[in-house]
Chain A
Amino acid sequence: GAVVSQHPSRVICKSGTSVKIECRSLDFQATTMFWYRQFPKQSLMLMATSNEGSKATYEQGVEKDKFLINHASLTLSTLTVTSAHPEDSSFYICSASFERETQYFGPGTRLLVL
């Protein structure tokens, strides 16, 4: 149980384009979903927290207009990186939790912006 999927697993795009990453909880309803970013050999950095049907809460220093988060249902959240630039290249990981229980992570999405 507690499986979280992410799609795509990796994406390469040109600078200036937008990229959407999907996060799905497959076997439970996630009241809260989280989006993280991870640089090589570093720990996870929380970007934002989202609850179904409400606006996401962004961490300090994360541009909400650049990283658009939509949590349309209890099983789906999306992260859109708008007008991506090479410095946005990173490993993006989502997690999902039910009723503030522990978080279950997706497999991650590797984004490379050329």
Chain B
Amino acid sequence: QKEVEQDPGPLSVPEGAIVSLNCTYSNSAFQYFMWYRQYSRKGPELLMYTYSSGNKEDGRFTAQVDKSSKYISLFIRDSQPSDSATYLCAMSSLDDSWGKLQFGAGTQVVVTP
């Protein structure tokens, strides 16, 4: 079993809809949680960074972390065709002094005009 599980999709939504993405994990030591967006043939771009549990909002993006359920989510409001990309969740634990990340498989999102 992988430490981080993420549905690879593809997830297709119409423009303007809310995109809902999530990851589950098994390692209770994870404390830092991130969402990255990766366009084809590009490096990942950091979208959201959360420490421990709670919600964080930044523009159209909302990240949620539920450590009791080992479940994290990313919501994208008012989705645009430019949001079409692969979204990767990533997390790390305090046990790792260098902050190595464990990634999900990535979810491919397609926003149709």
Contact = CB atoms under 8 A, between A and B. Distances in A.
A75 interface: no
Interface stretch (B13-21, B40-48, B75-83): B40-48
Output the residue of B42, B44, B90, B97 with the most chain A CB within 10 A.
B44
B43 to A, nearest CB: 4
B43 A49 contact: no
Interface residues of B, number: 22
A93 to B, nearest CB: 5
Interface string A83-101: 0000000010101010011
Contacts of B101: 46, 103
B98 A105 contact: no
A100 B98 contact: yes
Nearest to B50: A102
B32 A102 contact: yes
A43 B97 contact: no
B105 to A, nearest CB: 5
A95 B90 CA distance: 13
A93 B98 contact: no
Contacts of A6: 43
B74 interface: no
Contacts, number: 52
Interface in A52-72: none
Contacts of B46: 2, 102-105
B56 interface: no
Contacts of B105: 42-43
B103 A102 contact: no
B43 A107 contact: yes
A69 to B, nearest CB: 14
B41 A108 contact: yes
Contacts of A34: 100
A1 to B, nearest CB: 11
Interface of A: 2, 4, 6, 32, 34, 42-44, 46, 49, 51, 91, 93, 95, 97, 100-108, 110
